[in-house]
Amino acid sequence: MMAQYLALKAEAEDCLLFYRMGDFFELFFDDARTAAQVLDIALTSRGEHAGAPIPMCGVPVHSAESYLARLIKAGCRVAIAEQVETPEEAKKRGGSKALVARDIVRFVTAGTLTEEALLEPRRANVLAAVCEVRGQVGIAACDISTGRMELEECTPERMGAALARLGASELVCPDGWEAAPLDGIARPLREFQSDGGQERLCLIHGVATLDGFGAFSRAMLAAASGLIAYLDHVGRGRLPLLLPPVARSTGAHLAMDEATRTSLEILEASGGGRRGSLCEAVDRCVTGAGARQLAEDLSAPLTDVAMISARLDLVQWLHDEVMLRGDLRAVLRALPDVGRALGRIVAGRGSPRDLGQLRDGLSEARRMRDYLLRREDRPGLLDALLPHLGGHGALVDHFSRALVPSPPTERAQGGYIAAGYDHGLDALRETAGNARRAIAALEAKYRDETGVAALKIRHNGVLGYFIEVPAKHGDRLMAPDSGFTHRQTMAGAVRFNALALHEEASRIGEAGGHALAAEEAHFEQLVAEAVASAGAIAGTAAALARIDVAAGLAERAAEGLWCRPEVVDEARIAVTGGRHPVVEAALSAKGERFVANDCALAPEDRLWLIGGPNMGGKSTFLRQNALIVLLAQAGSFVPAERATVGLVDRLFSRVGASDNLARGRSTFMVEMVETAAILSQATDRSFVILDEVGRGTSTYDGLALAWAVAEAVHSLNRCRCLFATHYHELSRLAETCEALSLHHVRAREWKGDLVLLHELAEGPADRSYGLAVARLAGVPAPVLARAKAVLGKLEKGRAETGGLAAGLGELPLFAAALQAEEAEGDALRERLAGLDLDALTPRAALDLLYELKREASS
């Protein structure tokens, strides 16, 4: 057995090998150690290998999916080795000691999942392949759970942004490629050939040429070749559902690099997970397919005004038609996930329940189409979607006749083909049913004949049907002329067989076997019919998802009083009463109000320099306007009173930074890399938000960098930009940069406390309120006192000599500040000791408290 295991393990390579042994998948050696640690299950041993015990652990076959889910989430890949023959077949082949043959039937990896239990319903599961051909990078991506496939070509510099948009669960690339992503799985270079990709795609889709699907470059086809080869490898020769590929054209979508996506928290929040992200704040979809489509829309907003307007028209229609929207959402909420059910069926992992989901989903889609066709004021996008909701009448009618109302998830026990569909199957079921009734009659007869009221006819998987009596009655059935044959004696019971029981059992087994075979044949026929209509069914699933997205966005707009943006082909942004959707939702949950602000960027006023204190709302203001642009171009209403968005080709966000130790980059290095990308890529149609450029180095260096970056954005890139900074010196740029204006977030100090107003006002900030914010944060009083003294010297030195650090050498360190504070404390104690508290009037006591507070805050 170990020889067979080791041969399969060599084939599995770096995957954990699930080796089927009866009702368990067993793991051995290092695989067992890894699985035991990840799954928190017992690590045992079995036999010896090379003189040492063999580590071993196992999981039950019937619950393997839950264990697979945990292993995949932990980054493992798994090879499934199944028994490919029965023990009886093995004995016939090689005698009583023959080992049951096993083979790897499938590789389970993060990007090739189709099982419902292993997938997140509201998140796409993307597998991508990437390679380079003659200086161009080709990317092929698919979600095999729904079959959607797209091909893209880009320059090596833009590969990171393209892969960030996809957010692939698994990435494959050619072995030996120097530019390969760090997390890519290396595959043989021969698998990434453009000719092979074209040939395989033509074969899969039964066409002589790909011209009908679009124009695909050599780099795209090479990536497609690598993708299909990997799918062929993990599926052991059986490919999943792959719809005709779609070519993603350069410039058709708003481009965002990885840093921007992370900064804006589009699909995931900074701490990981969906909670706190833009998608979570916007998503009101009632189906998993709709939620996946929305995530894709937010990841790749459009840059075509007509297409954006078409989406907005549908959202507007559903926003205004409140009753219609409610009816549609009620229907959608009850729909199964048609796309993923189809994916499992085509991949050979479907169940009767999946066929039932196709039947129910397609039937409801047809009813929805008929309902919507009765409306005369339909928007254009809906008219384009409606034909995809019908056209499945014959398939739905056939599946309705063939399947029971609620088919099971397993087909091994049968029972999913409806009565009346196949008269031969009905007869077999009747035979089996009659035999079971005959067995019940036999049980009553044997009780009467033997006088043993406790006699029962039972069944198990080893003995089949047998007669069982309590041990004390066993002798009664042991007599030679009793008609019973002894089979097994147990501690409390004795088991027998009888000729009549054997005959009835044979009838049941034969009829049941034939019935299961008949149901299996019908299942395969229904699967073939579904696969033949896979393209049309996938079109229906996509149309339902698009309607769900529009209805969900309409619901979100009505819920939050969002407005329809006007999207224009001009270089301006005008937002009245704009709000941050995520922050507003968080404040609303606490019963607090979000302070809305306006933004107006145009060619003549395209760069806003924004000052003010930390925590005053600068970063929120920057992000909210970037998100408003993103939502508008994705075809959504936006959180504002009014909004006009001029098309943006690339969106950049450099807000906040952290170390990237894996790449050897400090916080400041990360900041400069992101800033360099903006300066080299932003165009006059781009929108950039910059926060505190230059803060990671010395004051002079930082100020110089911030000054130069602001000038470059204004005069070279000439893009729309919101630039937040604490460098007051930058306000002098307004004297030389004609399209730069000064703004600040308002704050006030009241009785020693800082009051943040979160309002944006014109003009430069009067100061940064850094010490006040530090006090709010809980910085110790001695440190604040020392900082205040240092600040006074800095300001005095700058006023007298122009030097930022002038006069600092005359200041003592913290000891002096502490001595001063101790002296003040002694004076206060003496003063309090001299007070006659009983003689103080209430008014005098209150005045004294105010006086002491003023002295403490001065």
Which residue range is the domain that position 12 belongs to?
Answer: 2-108
**841 exposure class (CB count in 10 Å sphere: 0-12, 13-18, 19+):** exposed
d(CA 246, CA 143): 13
Using DSSP, state whether 408 is helix, strand or coil: coil
The model's pTM is 0.85
Answer whether 808's CB lies under 8 Å from 794's CB. Answer: yes
At residue 693 the predicted structure's pLDDT band, cuts being 50, 70 and 90, is: confident
Residue 825's pLDDT is 62
Same domain? 433 vs 570:
no
- State how many domains the chain has: 6
Both 672 and 636 in one domain: the answer is yes
Q: What are phi and psi of 14, to 5 degrees?
A: -85, 5
Q: What is the mean pLDDT of the chain?
A: 89
711 and 622, same domain (yes or no):
yes
**418 in any annotated domain:** no
Q: Could you tell me if residue 91 is inside a domain?
A: yes
Residue 459 belongs to a domain: yes
Please choose, from the candidates 732, 733, 724, 771, the residue with its C-alpha nearest in 3D space to the C-alpha of residue 752.
771
Per-residue pLDDT, 665:
61
Summarised one tens digit per residue, pLDDT across range 235-256 is 998 999 999 999 998 788 999 9
**Can you give the pLDDT at residue 513?**
83
Is there a domain that residue 257 lies in? no
Q: Which pLDDT does position 800 carry in this prediction?
A: 62
Note whether 60 and 47 are same-domain residues: yes
**Does any domain span residue 239?**
yes
362: exposed, middle or buried (Cβ count in 10 Å: 0-12, 13-18, 19+): buried
DSSP state of 193: -
Asked if the structure places residue 700 within a domain, the reply is yes
CA gap 697, 693 in Å, rounded: 10
Query: 582 and 554 in one domain?
Result: no
Check pLDDT > 90 for residue 371: yes
* Residue 661 pLDDT class (50, 70, 90 cuts): very low
Indicate whether 483 and 446 sit together in one domain.
yes
In contact, 552 and 285? CB cutoff 8 Å: yes
Contact 27, 35 (CB under 8 A): yes
Beta bridge partners of 129: 140, 172
Q: Average pLDDT for residues 387-413, to the nearest whole number?
A: 94
Q: Is the pLDDT of residue 812 over 60?
A: no
Looking at the structure, do residues 648 and 729 belong to the same domain, yes or no?
yes
Distances in Å between the Cα of 828 and the Cα atoms of 745, 785, 822, 831 are 38, 17, 10, 5
What's the pLDDT score for residue 827? Answer: 67
**DSSP run (H or E) holding 690:** strand 687-691
Mean pLDDT of 319-334: 96
The CATH number of the domain holding residue 129 is: 3.30.420.110
| Alpha-carbon dihedral angle through residues 344, 349, 352, 356, given to the nearest 10 degrees | 0
In this predicted model, what pLDDT tens digit does every residue of 280-291 receive, in sequence order? 999 999 999 999
